[in-house]
Structures are given as C-alpha cells and as structure tokens.
Amino acid sequence: MKAFQPVNTSGQPGGSTILDRMLSAIADSIASLAGAVTNDVLVRTTLDNTRDWPVVHGLGHAVQTWEIVDIDGSATVWQPATVNATPKTSILLRSSASVSVLIRFT
C-alpha cells in the first residue's frame, strides 16, 4: 500500500497546523487499518491422512488463525498435536482424506 504523504495546509487559505495534525492522524489510522485488513495469506495445498503435512504460510511469524476457505472434497482438516519446529514459516496440518484446500492464514 502506498504511504500517505504529509500535508501542510498552514500556508494555504483555510489551512492550519491543527488541520494538518488531524489529517495526519486520519492518514495514520487508515494506514494501520489497511495493515490489519490485509494481513492474511492464502495458500493452496494438498493434504491427506498419511502424515502431518508442513504447509508454508508466508506470514513471517507464527500463525494466529487459519481457516479452510475452499476444499475439493469431503474431509476434516485439523492441526495435530505434533510439535512444530518451524512455526514462523510453516504450520502442520492433517486431513481425514486426500483433498486440495485453500487456507487463509493470519
């Protein structure tokens, strides 16, 4: 997302430093909201019931939430109790049947 440019209205008719501070605060709020809204990552992968599958999520930090947003078959997907050695880069998932899934990570 493109960063907001600072505004200096104090030299213009109707402008003031108070207005500049208000516009800056609004721009900061919008920028932080955009980060919160767009911080999810979608990953398509195939899972099955033969083992725990490491799925690279691309977040750069441990997964906070995940959800299946598309699945091409009938299966249950879960996070196994196995300890994940690389939580900042991947998550372990298992499925009750072989399926292709689209997963949203946050």
Write down the domain spans for the chain.
1-38, 41-105
**Amino acid 78: pLDDT:** 96
Instruction: Convert the pLDDT of each residue in 54-81 to its tens digit.
Output: 999 988 889 999 999 999 999 999 999 9
pTM value? 0.62
Question: Per-residue pLDDT for 41 more than 50?
Answer: yes
Give 97's Cβ-side CA count (13 Å radius): 7
41 class by beta-carbon count within 10 Å (0-12 exposed, 13-18 middle, 19+ buried): middle
**Amino acid 52: pLDDT:** 95
Closest C-alpha among 103, 11, 94, 102 to residue 47 = 94
DSSP 3-state of 25: helix
pLDDT confidence tier of residue 4, bands split at 50, 70 and 90: low
